Amino acid sequence: MALLSWSDEYLIGEATIDSEHKGLFVLVNDFHSRWQAKGTREEIALVLHKLVLYAEEHFRHEEAVMDAAGYPRLAEHHTVHADMFEQIFKLREEYEQQDNHLEQDTMRFVRNWLVNHIVQHDFEFRAFLARSAKRRVTPTPSSPAIPQCRSTRILPAHGTTLLFGLRSTPFSGAAGVGRSEAQRSGCPRWASFHSVQPTCSTPACL
């Protein structure tokens, strides 16, 4: 019977981390199954050695992902990884050099070593990733639309033509032209036109 059973409940939401967590589950189960089958010390030591190397590589990858994501608790997580690596390294060293026998308590330790880390520490990073993803997909309130200028034409059509003509005419002559045109057209608004400030200077408003 496997010591650990993988479940999607352990997923963090980052492909590299999730893949390597599954790899750690495989190695821990291999370690446990060889112990149950009373494998040789060389066989068990080899699996322990693989577990140590894989854990070291995984911790490095995981911290790189956290760094790239801007995880604010990276330094704290690095300390946790250092402690975990020291624990599993010491277990391997004692087994290889001191001829220690593995007991059921050792299996429980290895199981908790992995599962507790994922649940207690990596789940915090999972929550951070979820919050970051939510911020990326949540639309930000749009800025108020800029009001479109609508022409409030003061002059009739022929007055508009005159206005464009005045813009290319020196101001000293414009008043005379304007008055004569207003007198001919009978436009009552021309006299007040110059006292009205335009609300928009774009061509669409003229």
Nearest residue to 87 via CA among 55, 65, 58, 115: 55
Burial of 17 (0-12, 13-18, 19+ CB in 10 A): buried
Mean pLDDT value across the chain: 77
Phi, psi of 71 (to 5 degrees): -65, 120
Contact 107, 3 (CB under 8 A): yes
Q: What is the pLDDT of residue 139?
A: 54
Number of DSSP helices (H) and strands (E) in the chain, helices first: 8, 0
On the question of pLDDT at 4 being above 50, the answer is yes
Position 12 pLDDT exceeds 90? yes
pLDDT at 135: 86
Structure confidence at residue 96 (pLDDT): 84
Please write the tens of the pLDDT for every residue from 153-179: 444 444 444 334 444 444 344 444 444
Whole-number pLDDT of residue 192: 42
| One-letter identity of residue 148 | Q
Looking at residue 163, what is its pLDDT? 39
DSSP at 198: P
pLDDT value at 188 more than 50? no
Is the CB of residue 28 less than 8 Å from the CB of residue 3? yes
Give the angle 164-167-170 at the CA atoms, nearest 5°. Answer: 140
The span from the CA of 154 to the CA of 192, in Å, is 10
- Tokens 């801007």 correspond to 70
pLDDT band at 137 (very low <50, low <70, confident <90, very high): low
Separation of alpha carbons 182 and 85, rounded Å: 93
Round to whole Å and give the CA distance between 91 and 102. 10
How far is the C-alpha of 63 from the C-alpha of 75, rounded, in Å? 9
Superfamily in which the 8-137 domain is placed by CATH:
Hemerythrin-like (1.20.120.50)
In percent, how much of the chain has pLDDT > 90? Answer: 54
Q: Above 60 in pLDDT, residue 40?
A: yes
What per-residue confidence (pLDDT) applies to 148?
Answer: 52
- Is 24:12 a contact under the CB 8 Å cutoff? no
Whether the pLDDT of residue 22 is over 80: the answer is yes
pLDDT tens-digit series, residues 51-109 = 999 999 999 999 999 999 999 999 999 999 999 999 999 999 988 887 667 888 899 99
| Model pTM score | 0.64
pLDDT of residue 124: 97
